[in-house]
Chains A and B, each alone.
Chain A
Amino acid sequence: MSDVHSLWMAAAGGGTASIPAPQIEYGQLSPMLIVFGAAVLGILAEAFLPRRLRWGTQVTLALAGLAAAFVAVLVLANDGYGTTKSGLIAMGSVALDGPALFLQGVILLAGVLAVLLYAERRLDPRVDGVPLDAFTAQGAAAPGGEQEKQAAKAGFASTEVYPLTLFAIGGMLLFPAANDLLTMFVALEVFSLPLYLLCALARRRRLLSQEAAVKYFLLGSFASAFFLFGSALLYGYAGSFRLPDIHDVIAGTAPATPALASSTQNDVLLLVGLAMVAVGLFFKVGAVPFHSWTPDVYQGAPTPVTGFMAAATKVAAFGALLRLFYVAFPGLRWDWRPVMWAVAILTMVVGAILAVTQQDVKRLLAYSSIAHAGFILTGVIASNRQGVGAVLFYLLAYTFVTLGAFAVVTLVRDSKGEATHLSSWAGLGRRSPLLAAVFALFLLSFAGIPLTAGFTGKFAVFQAAAAGGATPLVIIGVLSSAVAAFFYIRVIVLMFFSDPQPNGPAVAIPSAFTSTAISLGVIATVGLGVLPQYFLDLASKAAMFSGH
């Protein structure tokens, strides 16, 4: 009885019965609020606007919302949040600091590029005067059924993908900024649920797309459950969901809530809880052995969505992983350091080796993204400030290269839609030298060839890891880079030195949307490779978490 009583007392603020009204700093939360606001407006537009106006409205609304949110991030950064001052907002559940703002900026840029790819409607020829995009006419219609045909004939379009994406982006903005485990979980769900839906909405090969969505949903739910259960155990250990409080209890500088005196300081709770929370996050970043969903989902989802997931999800999840390990569990005590090492090594090696055998471009990029998650993990393990800066920079570089590469994939098409089988890419360099050269640039950047963004990022994380005493990881990373280089180069060989198939795919002429996205990708890949200093400075200045 007394235990329960004191728990109530504790929750109520140590005996006084007053519950303070929450203080919300709307201005400092504005990036998220703008994106969520735009998403809500998008839902309203979906409900009330006539069909013919929806596409234009949604694209404009999404781009305007993302741009406004990006401006808000810049304004906050200009006010010194993230470099000179940082703080906790929304009753201490959201952190406003350098890593959060930097990653929010990256996620918003990824969102802009993704929306540009969504809006592409010139790749397929019009049917009955209706322009087609990458999404199915009506998600609820059974694939191949009568209803689907009618929907297509009527010129329906799944314009709800825009508000769904905005909701996902909103959740992703919150995820790396979440300062307590519950907020983190809410953010995780807010960005995951729209992604499950988006995966199922491909126009072509709908069964594959729906299968991908179901797999992603089932495995993602497991991961969420792990995360939630782990959070509960950590609460049992520390008596708080807030990351800085957990840190204080581990460090022994703060007493735990008296009500939980029997369970606090119980290392079993701590270790099992941490492991489960980490599993949830490892799943989202696609680290081995929690990676098995990646190739299937990447292959089945509509390619613009794949690009968006590959870039933005990884950014958000690594942001949360960084915050978890740097704010709540700094120093990576020997208890979990070996596990982190094992995960990083497995991720690099398995990703690189399995990619060698792939025959499908999207699956190849999926395994490549797994290998890259391993490289980024070496930066996380560095557990120094350089490591945070390096991971931030890597994520920035990786976002542009990934979205650019998937944008190129949308353009190589045959009569059945995108031609993703590698054999049909043979000889592309002889037919469309420019496009093949652009894709080769992205692949070289993935492979980490100097003067590309990928090299700078890889150098930064490996350098931080070596400085953090993880030299064996660097050596394994370098060796898996050599394996990875093999399959990137295999694609280049195929494009430039093989003879084209007689009835191989053609390269569609994109509209300004996709062209802009690809151009931005190229500019960033070369720019971050040749003149990275400004962004390295930015990332390194931003690499400071607000603790308390």
Chain B
Amino acid sequence: MSALLTATCAVPAAGAVLTAALPAGSSESRRRATKAVALTVSAATLALAGLVAAQFKTGGPRYQLTEQHAWIRSFGISFSLGVDGIGAVLLLLTAVLVPLVMLASWHDPTPGTGDSVTGAPAPEGQTFESKRRTQAFFALILAVEAMVIVSFLATDVFLFYVFFEAMLIPLYFLIGGFGDRAGGPESDRQRSYAAVKFLLYNLLGGLVMLAAVIGLYVVAQGQGFGTFDLQTLTGAIADGKLVINTNAERALFLGFFFAFAVKAPLWPLHTWLPNAMGEATAGTAVLITAVVDKVGTFAMLRFCLGLFPDASRFFAPAILVLSVIGIVYGALLAVGQKDIKRLVAYASISHFGFIILGIFAMTSQGQSGATLYMVNHGISTALLMLVAGFLISRRGSRLIADFGGVQKVAPVLAGTFLVGGLATLSLPGLAPFVSEFLVLVGTFTRYPALGIVATLGIVLAALYVLVLYQRTMTGPVKPQVAGMADLKARELLVAVPLIALTLVFGVYPKPLTDLVNPAVADTLSQVHKTDPAPAHPVAVPAGGETK
């Protein structure tokens, strides 16, 4: 039993404590030291995540590198970790994005210095700002990273629940405590509202899930399975040793699914996301949409399908309809947005619709595509949002109408923004195309009508991305944009790896699909679903189909 997975969780957690404890002070050198420590910790986490992926054997059992330590024996709770292919790719995504988010947010928490680029003075009312802002910001990011990683690796339902719920607290402080300072007191109120809305939506989801977690334990305990261990439970359910009656299973499924659908977010539970992403810093917004929300879709695959196979099949049509509504609705609202960050938020809602569509289409292409989609959406949204953040910090405004002609003054910025946009609209050759294609293929084979409606989302995506680019980057140079600086070295360091990943996975997604496919096949076998007999071979071999 190796302790690699524990180390992967413990390093960012310890780093968060260390960063928070570093000496306070407003001097630049103190702040720089804090950021260096946090960045080093996140790099170490990335190294560990790489090690996990390297040690993961694609032909081996589903859960590898497993660890189990007794935690709360009274309730059959253990600290058990294990990584499967889906968890591995999401772990890598998290570990890659967090250092980049930190680099992109380098100057965001600086107290009292005003805008990091234009050097505008700090607005009134900031004199009370704590001297520990920098420490707090980076410690909170590391705390979120640690909790997200535990969620991806947990093979104990309760352990997952605890961290799924606990990660709300650092996120809440990240949203509410740090944001762009463009709007003065009004923006403070908006931000506080966004933070509370985020917390209450997710807390309600989490509490409903708590009732379901308790219900699952009571049902399982009644049949001699007084444990939260995921493999034991799914094994017993698959073997028919643990029988949950139909109504109870459906109720429990809905309890779990509600929490994940709020987090993911699925239409109509999505309304917290545009507020949160609009008011938070660009870095926090990326953390939310690219990393944390993935826990929701990931958990649908791992917990909803694994624990409640019959209920999953029963509710799948309804969920598919909701996700298709989400695809079209999110895209339509994105077209109408005036605020760049909210536009990206609605685009994300549309994309989460695709992910959930892929999961509940219950075909191997659909689920592989959905998992790839989680990774690719993370990369492309991070690119688009972080570059948008650079753009916004230069101008001090989030409104599309305040920009124009940026590509003439800052061509590199405009270019990276375009790549992010094209990735978001799933241009062939870029990573998201592969996953979107797989999801649609997987949906068509079983639900052709839904597949056709979902395709509308792609058309609308082209519209909102290209209109956004056209309005902000092309046309005559607006006076306030005239002196805009192009991307600096630090900002390029953020954008280049993301562009590289988009290109690589766009052309050669095999490393990811190889990791993901066995786990997807196992999930499908848990829900007793086989693919409809394909008329033609599909682009990516779907791994072991179950008979």
* B210 at the A interface (CB under 8 A): yes
Give Cα A499 to B124, complex, Å: 11
CB neighbours of A336 from chain B (8 A): none
By the criterion CB–CB under 8 Å, are B71 and A450 in contact?
Answer: no
* A462 at the B interface (CB under 8 A): yes
CB neighbours of B245 from chain A (8 A): none
* B204 at the A interface (CB under 8 A): yes
By the criterion CB–CB under 8 Å, are A467 and B218 in contact?
Answer: yes
CB neighbours of A433 from chain B (8 A): 130, 132
Please encode chain A, from 518 to 532, with 1 for each CB lying within 8 Å of some chain B CB and 0 for all others: 000000000000001
By the criterion CB–CB under 8 Å, are A497 and B200 in contact?
Answer: no
* B177 at the A interface (CB under 8 A): yes
By the criterion CB–CB under 8 Å, are A493 and B192 in contact?
Answer: yes
* A506 at the B interface (CB under 8 A): no
Give Cα A447 to B188, complex, Å: 25
Give Cα A475 to B254, complex, Å: 13
CB neighbours of B221 from chain A (8 A): 467
Assuming the A-B contacts A450-B165, A533-B74, are A462 and B195 also in contact, with contact meaning beta carbons closer than 8 angstroms in the complex?
no
By the criterion CB–CB under 8 Å, are A485 and B74 in contact?
Answer: no
By the criterion CB–CB under 8 Å, are A497 and B218 in contact?
Answer: no
Give Cα A463 to B128, complex, Å: 44
* A230 at the B interface (CB under 8 A): no
Give Cα A460 to B191, complex, Å: 35
Other-chain residue from A463, A485, A489 in contact with B218 (beta carbon distance below 8 A): A463
A419-466 CB contacts (< 8 Å) to partner B: 427, 429-431, 433, 444, 447-451, 455-456, 459-460, 462-463, 466
What residue of chain B has the Cβ atom nearest to residue A393's Cβ? B74
By the criterion CB–CB under 8 Å, are B210 and A478 in contact?
Answer: yes
CB neighbours of A536 from chain B (8 A): 72, 74-75
* B499 at the A interface (CB under 8 A): no
CB neighbours of B176 from chain A (8 A): 493, 496-497
What residue of chain A has the Cβ atom nearest to residue B161's Cβ? A450
By the criterion CB–CB under 8 Å, are A489 and B214 in contact?
Answer: no
By the criterion CB–CB under 8 Å, are A463 and B129 in contact?
Answer: no
Please encode chain A, from 339 to 351, with 1 for each CB lying within 8 Å of some chain B CB and 0 for all others: 0000000000000
Assuming the A-B contacts A449-B169, A450-B165, A466-B215, are A478 and B74 also in contact, with contact meaning beta carbons closer than 8 angstroms in the complex?
no
* B203 at the A interface (CB under 8 A): yes
By the criterion CB–CB under 8 Å, are B208 and A478 in contact?
Answer: yes
CB neighbours of B214 from chain A (8 A): 459, 462-463, 466, 474
CB neighbours of A533 from chain B (8 A): 70-74
* B36 at the A interface (CB under 8 A): no
**Distance to closest chain A CB from B361 (angstroms):** 31
What residue of chain A has the Cβ atom nearest to residue B70's Cβ? A533
What residue of chain A has the Cβ atom nearest to residue B71's Cβ? A533
**Distance to closest chain A CB from B38 (angstroms):** 19
By the criterion CB–CB under 8 Å, are A497 and B177 in contact?
Answer: yes
* A240 at the B interface (CB under 8 A): no
* A482 at the B interface (CB under 8 A): yes
**Distance to closest chain A CB from B234 (angstroms):** 21
* B86 at the A interface (CB under 8 A): no
By the criterion CB–CB under 8 Å, are A497 and B195 in contact?
Answer: yes
Give Cα A537 to B222, complex, Å: 20
* B437 at the A interface (CB under 8 A): no
**Distance to closest chain A CB from B397 (angstroms):** 22
* A481 at the B interface (CB under 8 A): yes
Assuming the A-B contacts A467-B221, A497-B188, A540-B74, are A475 and B211 also in contact, with contact meaning beta carbons closer than 8 angstroms in the complex?
yes
By the criterion CB–CB under 8 Å, are B74 and A500 in contact?
Answer: no
CB neighbours of B72 from chain A (8 A): 456, 532-533, 536
Please encode chain A, from 192 to 207, with 1 for each CB lying within 8 Å of some chain B CB and 0 for all others: 0000000000000000
Give Cα A444 to B204, complex, Å: 14
By the criterion CB–CB under 8 Å, are A463 and B75 in contact?
Answer: yes
By the criterion CB–CB under 8 Å, are B128 and A497 in contact?
Answer: no
What residue of chain B has the Cβ atom nearest to residue A537's Cβ? B74
* B240 at the A interface (CB under 8 A): no
By the criterion CB–CB under 8 Å, are A493 and B195 in contact?
Answer: yes
* B236 at the A interface (CB under 8 A): no
* B390 at the A interface (CB under 8 A): no
**Distance to closest chain A CB from B150 (angstroms):** 11
**Distance to closest chain B CB from A145 (angstroms):** 42
CB neighbours of A540 from chain B (8 A): 74
**Distance to closest chain A CB from B56 (angstroms):** 28
What residue of chain A has the Cβ atom nearest to residue B158's Cβ? A459
Assuming the A-B contacts A479-B207, A500-B128, are A449 and B191 also in contact, with contact meaning beta carbons closer than 8 angstroms in the complex?
no
Give Cα A482 to B209, complex, Å: 12
* A486 at the B interface (CB under 8 A): yes
Give Cα A451 to B71, complex, Å: 12
* A471 at the B interface (CB under 8 A): yes
By the criterion CB–CB under 8 Å, are A427 and B132 in contact?
Answer: no
Give Cα A244 to B169, complex, Å: 48
By the criterion CB–CB under 8 Å, are A489 and B196 in contact?
Answer: yes
Other-chain residue from A389, A449, A466 in contact with B166 (beta carbon distance below 8 A): A449
Give Cα A496 to B214, complex, Å: 33
Q: Which of A455, A493, A536 has the most CB of B within 10 A?
A: A493
By the criterion CB–CB under 8 Å, are B204 and A497 in contact?
Answer: no
Please encode chain A, from 481 to 495, with 1 for each CB lying within 8 Å of some chain B CB and 0 for all others: 110011001100100
What residue of chain B has the Cβ atom nearest to residue A469's Cβ? B218
CB neighbours of A459 from chain B (8 A): 75, 210, 214
By the criterion CB–CB under 8 Å, are A478 and B207 in contact?
Answer: yes
By the criterion CB–CB under 8 Å, are A444 and B169 in contact?
Answer: yes
CB neighbours of B168 from chain A (8 A): 449
What residue of chain B has the Cβ atom nearest to residue A429's Cβ? B130
* B444 at the A interface (CB under 8 A): no
Give Cα A433 to B166, complex, Å: 20
What residue of chain A has the Cβ atom nearest to residue B175's Cβ? A497
Give Cα A444 to B208, complex, Å: 17
Give Cα A533 to B211, complex, Å: 21
CB neighbours of A463 from chain B (8 A): 75, 214, 217-218
Assuming the A-B contacts A433-B132, A537-B74, are A497 and B191 also in contact, with contact meaning beta carbons closer than 8 angstroms in the complex?
yes
By the criterion CB–CB under 8 Å, are B192 and A497 in contact?
Answer: yes
**Distance to closest chain A CB from B12 (angstroms):** 16
By the criterion CB–CB under 8 Å, are B199 and A496 in contact?
Answer: no
Please encode chain B, from 215 to 240, with 1 for each CB lying within 8 Å of some chain A CB and 0 for all others: 10110011000000000000000000
Assuming the A-B contacts A467-B221, A489-B196, A493-B195, are A431 and B74 also in contact, with contact meaning beta carbons closer than 8 angstroms in the complex?
no
CB neighbours of A448 from chain B (8 A): 207
* B162 at the A interface (CB under 8 A): yes
Q: Which of A449, A460, A486, A497 has the most CB of B within 10 A?
A: A497
Which A-B residue pairs are the 5 nearest by beta carbons?
A: A450-B162, A430-B128, A497-B192, A536-B74, A478-B211
Binding site for B on A (CB under 8 A): 389, 427, 429-431, 433, 444, 447-451, 455-456, 459-460, 462-463, 466-467, 471, 474-475, 478-479, 481-482, 485-486, 489-490, 493, 496-500, 532-533, 536-537, 540
> What are 22 A-B residue pairs whose CB atoms fall within 8 Å in the complex?
A427-B128, A429-B130, A431-B128, A433-B130, A449-B168, A451-B166, A455-B162, A456-B72, A467-B221, A474-B214, A478-B211, A481-B207, A482-B207, A489-B199, A490-B196, A493-B176, A493-B192, A497-B195, A499-B185, A536-B74, A536-B75, A537-B73
